[in-house]
Every structure is written in C-alpha cells, then in structure tokens.
Amino acid sequence: MFKLKEYNTTVKTEIIAGITTFLTMVYIVVVNPVILSDAGVPFDQVFTATIIATVIGTLWMAFFANYPIAIAPGMGLNAYFAYSVVGSHGDIDYQTAFAAVFVAGIIFVILSLTPFRKKLIEAIPENLKHGITAGIGLFIAFIGLRLTGIITSHPTNLVALGDLHSPSALLALAGLAITLILMALNVNGALFFGMIITGLIAFFTGQLSFEKGLVSLPSLPEGLLITNPFSAIGDVVQYSLYAVVFSFLLVTIFDTTGTMIGVAQQAGLMKGNTMPKAREALLADSVATTIGAMFGTSPTSAYIESSSGVAAGGRTGLTSLTVAVLFILSAFFGPLVSAVSGLSAITAPALIIVGSLMIGSISNIKWSEIDEAFPAFLIILSMPLTSSIATGIALGFISYPLLKIVKGKWREVHPLVYLFALLFFYQLAFLPH
C-alpha cells in the first residue's frame, strides 16, 4: 500500500519517523485549546476537536496521497480566530466564527477538487520554492530557540541571547548536543532517540512530572457545533464575514501549499516542477478544516514539523499513519501529553536541527540574478521575523512579478502568480492578518 521498497525505506524507519513528527507537533493538542478557550470555546471541546481534525486530515494524507506529512489546526490561524474574528466583531460568538471556518473549508474542498491548487504548485517559480523551503527551516529553528529561552525578546533589538543558565535552556542545549552526536554517528532515528534521552534527563532532574496523572477520557461537552451547512452559510451572509472567509482561504491555501512543497522537496518526492498526487494531498487539509469546524477547531494546515519526520527517514504515508494512530492514543492520555508537550526543551533540538537541514535549499537559488534572488531572500527573511509562512510567501509573490516586469521578463511569469500577487497585496493592505 505504501510502496516502501519503491521509496527505499522500511517499516521501522517509517514508524520512528512518525513518532518523531508526533513528538514535535503534539504540543498543538494543548496550545490550540488554550488559545481558542480565550474565545470562549470549552477546553475539552477544542482538545477533542483538535485530535479529530488532525486524525482525519493525516489519515487522508496517509491513505490517499502517501506522503509523510501531518495535518493539524494551524498556529496563527487559531490566534486570528480567537482574537481578530471573535474578539473584534462585537456580537459574533465562537459558534458563528466556526460557521466562517466551515464555509472556508467547503470552498477549500471545491478548489482542491479542481486543477486550481495543483496548477498553483506548478506555477510557483523554482527559486521561490527553494526560498519557501529555506524560510520554513529558518522559521522552525527560530521557534525552537525561542520556546526554550535560548533566544529571548529584547526591547531594542527585538531578540537577544537568553539566560543560558535557565533549566529550559540547559536542557535544550543538552538535548541538542546529544542529538547532534547521534546524527554525526549516523544513528538511525537520531532525532527520536535524542528526544527520548532528553525526556529522561528532564524527568530525573525534576523538570518533567506527571502531577495530573496519565490517563483521562476525551469528551465533547457541546457535541457538534455545525450541523446544518445552510445555516452556516446564512451566518456568514448575515454577519458579512466575507473578509474573514477570504483571509482563512488565502492563508491556508498558501500555508499548506508552501509547507507541502517544502517538505516534499526535502524528502525528494517532487518530480521536477510537479508534486505527484497533489490533488489528494491538498484535499487532506480542506476536508480536515471542514470537519474540524463542525466539532470546534480553527482551520487546519500541513505541519512544518513533518520535516522532522522526513529528516528521520520518513518517505511514505506509513509515517502519517503512525502520527494519526499516536494522536488517537493521545486522546486518552491528555495529562501525559500535556506534561511532555508543555516542556518545549524536549522537542526543540529536533526543530533546530531540521531547520539547519532545510535551509540548505538556498544553495539552489540563482543568487546572481536579482529578479530571482531577492524575492526568495524576502521569503527567507520574513517568515521567521513575521512568524508567518503565509506572509513570507505573500511578500515573495508580490515582489517576484514586479522585478520581472522591471527586467522586461513579464512573459516568464505564470498568470496565477500575477493573480495572487494582487490578492496578497489586497490582503496585506486592507484585511486583518
């Protein structure tokens, strides 16, 4: 089913890769409920809805697309939902906001069933694709450094070196050293074993504890939040949530598309300028977004943490299947997942190392040609500085055709690139983001 021999991988490698991806992204089952609970959504509702959406999207990716890419509610989109949609529109409660997510999901599905999103992948210029991969790498490495306190905020310079004597920074540095040594020795599953050893160190030094126990039953206290598609569409019309739906659409399309391209390139799964089974892969997040909204979570996206599983050797949908199974199990181990994912120093070394692997794509960028190099550079620079994959892609898409026009090479630009340059400009200039 997963064509392991064709992709030169094994069951053991795929399972270890899946565990690695799971450990680097499982924080979402804790962080997502925390953020959405600020909008009034019950924590238990979001916890279970997050797992349902993740499992559905990731299983779809495993069985229909055969990619080692996990799907889950996207960071950034959940904050936009909680603080910009619910928080800034007076009489809009979270149930009405979920109607906007649901409608956006339906449009995602329609777009994914058409050749549109596949053509979009093929239309993105090669140098922008390399910039996206490198930018994501820099972004996730920055996340790993920031979450552990190795890098901290600074009032003048924005960021600065943190307190390297803090327990979190020391644990992360120890985990980074251990994982790098394992990788240098070519140990299979080095990222995974590095996290296991780091977790053991955390436990024996008192940083990791299980005060709330290990097991609890999942629950959906409010049941299904969206049961009638027509009433959801009616809510969007009644409250004029067109800009909200458009923002969800634009960000998720490019967040997911960019991440898929980056991870697929890292895994060597791109066939020239095309992505095999692109339609099946792109349907995964649109289906998960639609169903997730029904249960009570914000839009889903392909997860950049999937690159940690690829770095551990994941090449097929068996990696994704492993991730999905582990998320199903995590539904019954809420307290355990909360404890482990709450200690970012355990997973941060994997993010930092994967970032170093992904940024290698910059070697493929045509740095001698300003009209090719600068848009890619803008993507790489802006992703970590804005904490948004979609914003980085937006700036790249806007600057690329402009430079091509100035150079007299406007015919080299695909019409879809011009279209999305205008849409991104409109979004950045006039819509919340």
Q: Quote the pLDDT of residue 432.
A: 59
Q: Return the higher-pLDDT residue of 150 and 192.
A: 150
Please say if the pLDDT value at position 70 is more than 80: yes
Amino acid at position 290, single letter: T
- Which H or E run contains 377? helix 370-386
Q: Quote the pLDDT of residue 188.
A: 67
Give 92-143 pLDDT, tens digit per residue: 889 999 999 999 999 989 988 888 777 777 788 888 888 888 887 888 888 8
Give 205-253 pLDDT, tens digit per residue: 988 887 777 788 888 888 889 989 999 999 888 887 877 787 788 777 7
Amino acid at position 204, single letter: F
Average of pLDDT values for 412-428?
Answer: 87
Domain boundaries, the chain: 11-209+240-430
Q: Quote the pLDDT of residue 368.
A: 92
Which residue in the block uniquely carries the two structure tokens 């680097």?
24
Average of pLDDT values for 15-37?
Answer: 85
| Burial of 148: CB neighbours in 10 Å, binned 0-12, 13-18, 19+ | buried
* DSSP structure class, residue 68: S
- pTM here? 0.75
Q: Please, are residues 308 and 24 in contact by the beta-carbon 8 Å criterion?
A: yes
Q: Please, are residues 111 and 117 in contact by the beta-carbon 8 Å criterion?
A: yes
Give 358-411 pLDDT, tens digit per residue: 888 898 899 999 999 999 999 999 988 887 777 888 899 899 999 999 999 999
Q: Please, are residues 395 and 367 in contact by the beta-carbon 8 Å criterion?
A: no
Q: Quote the pLDDT of residue 172.
A: 94
Give Cα separations from 100 to 85, 223, 297 (angstroms). Answer: 10, 18, 12
What is the sign of the dihedral through the CA atoms of 86, 92, 98 and 103?
Answer: negative
3-state secondary structure of 15: helix
Task: Report the mean per-residue pLDDT for the chain.
Answer: 86
Q: Quote the pLDDT of residue 377.
A: 95
